[in-house]
Chain A
């Protein structure tokens, strides 16, 4: 609780104790890099555990989460912030932690969030991707798969595979295959 009170004195945040090991903090996006630097330099949260992004399409926001850990007191701070989904832009923090570069490249590719100043000449995972960022909620994975990939012959529908084989080959179903749990 001391940490939350201290953060409230310095920044405009909302905070609560989540459990014995975790503290949850929420702040505006403009304050995130300052809070992270403050936690790292003043309070020993030197380990960037994780960064995540959640698409709240119904509220038209992306929620970014920064999870940092203090090895001396063994506590975690989860810092949440919201950015506008229609104009997603967030401050680049890879000057604070190098591995943030990887996370930000992934968010740029998967969610379409821009991080001005992020140096990333190469793609992270999706080479030659021309569709919308695929981790967004409005990207339809099933539709993309149906439109992009050809279906293997004989598996166009949920027909029993034994019947499919019989139709294709003209053979009879062998005795051992006649007994099936779905029958």
Chain B
């Protein structure tokens, strides 16, 4: 009998199984992972330092670029933090529009996740479908904000512009279409015996350790813990909308995938309710001249629920026209490093990318 020796594998930074650019240094014995170390540094763009050199509004060109798959929650977290510092009131119409935009961002990011999760398991068809369907949401964004991916739309005081004519009808039609498509996704992925076998019992996060490890979002709800910023500390119009927060027990890839599957259904319902009940009135509480706009000194911590989990923004003002400190806490900050390094040992090499996708790791948001 031969003894298996320990080998070092470098997964990344250029690897189709990595969700972004990062490197995981794996020590493996045979094809079982013995230890994992996350190495970053490929996507650091010094955004937080750059924000300190820009005025409060100029930062928006940078904020959306923190996280590529889902830029909107970061804009919203920053806007909420500035509004907390200033005590700025946001009109009701703007809150509903923010809710719609946040949920559209959630759905489009989930559709992208479908591609990543299924592709890392060897099922490439679903990614083609979901990325194609995602384009319908990006079309809605283009009509509303002028851009498909980076919107710079939710800013302090409200949103940048009102809904264009015909947009609501188009949004309703898009939701109807996507709802029908979910059946196809379920049949292809969740009814698929290979996906079930590969995801059940894999990448387990223990329920009693999850919160202590800093796990948030679908990975946390996949352990059975019901925590969602939209119900714990409601923002935008979520306190006026009826929705459920799905949870599943198990803490494995399967439970996390089921949580995400059910959340898309909830997001479609939230968008429909927000459109049905959209109030009239202003969409923006106008800020002063941005070149002279100063924000009172103080600090603020604002959270939103992104598709990966809780996104927090710690913002400090010294009373000037530029932020003193802008510090993003991405949902993946703990997931991609300390949680991943705990979950991977004992797993098969083939499951590393599978688990990485299920945790929703986003390297741009870790490194900023």
In the assembled complex, A50 has its CB within 8 A of some CB on chain B: yes
Contact A46 B211, CB 8 Å, known A52-B314, A76-B301: yes
B148 interface residue (CB < 8 Å to A): no
Chain A residues with CB under 8 Å of B92's CB are none
Minimum CB distance partner of A65 in chain B = B314
Q: For window 9-58 of chain A, which residues contact chain B by CB distance below 8 Å?
A: 19, 21-22, 46-50, 52-55
Give the number of chain A interface residues (Cβ < 8 Å): 35
B340 to chain A, nearest CB (A): 11
- Contact present for A97 and B316 (CB under 8 Å): no
- Interface membership of chain A positions 76-106, coded 1 if the CB is closer than 8 angstroms to chain B and 0 otherwise: 1010000000000000000001110110000
Please name all residues of chain B whose beta carbon is closer than 8 Å to the beta carbon of A78 when the two chains form the complex. Answer: 299, 301
Are the CB atoms of B314 and A50 closer together than 8 Å? Answer: yes
Cβ-defined contact, B50 with A99, below 8 A = no
B333 touches A102 (CB 8 A): yes
Structural contact, A48 and B301, CB atoms closer than 8 A: no
Q: B214: which of A48, A125, A139 is its contact (CB, 8 Å)?
A: A48
Whether A49 and B41, one on each chain, are in contact in the complex, defined by CB atoms closer than 8 angstroms, is no
Q: Which of A47, A67, A124 contacts B301 (CB 8 A)?
A: A67
B337 CB contacts on chain A under 8 angstroms: 99, 102
Chain A's nearest CB lies how many Å from the CB of B85? 11
Q: A71-B227, A99-B338 are in contact. Are A122 and B37 (CB under 8 A)?
A: yes
Interfacial chain B residues near A47, Cβ < 8 Å: 211-212, 214
Tell me whether A135 and B214 are in contact (CB under 8 A).
no
Main secondary structure of the interface of B (DSSP, over half): mixed
**When the two chains form their complex, are residues B233 and A74 in contact, meaning their CB atoms are under 8 A apart?**
yes
Residue of B nearest to A78 (CB): B301
Contacts of B46 in A (CB 8 A): 134, 141
Residue B224 at the A interface, CB < 8 A? Answer: no
Please, how many angstroms separate the alpha-carbon atoms of A126 and B314 in the complex?
22
Interchain CA distance A123-B367 in the complex, whole Å: 13
Cβ–Cβ contact B325 & A52, under 8 A: yes
| Per-position 1/0 for B309-333, Cβ under 8 A of A | 0101010100000001101010001
- CB within 8 Å of A: which B41-59 residues: 41, 44, 46, 48-50, 52-53
Nearest 8 pairs of A and B residues by beta carbon: A50-B329, A99-B214, A99-B338, A99-B334, A54-B325, A52-B327, A47-B211, A125-B41
Residues on A close to B: CB < 8 A?
Answer: 19, 21-22, 46-50, 52-55, 65, 67, 71, 74, 76, 78, 97-99, 101-102, 122-127, 134-135, 137, 139, 141-142
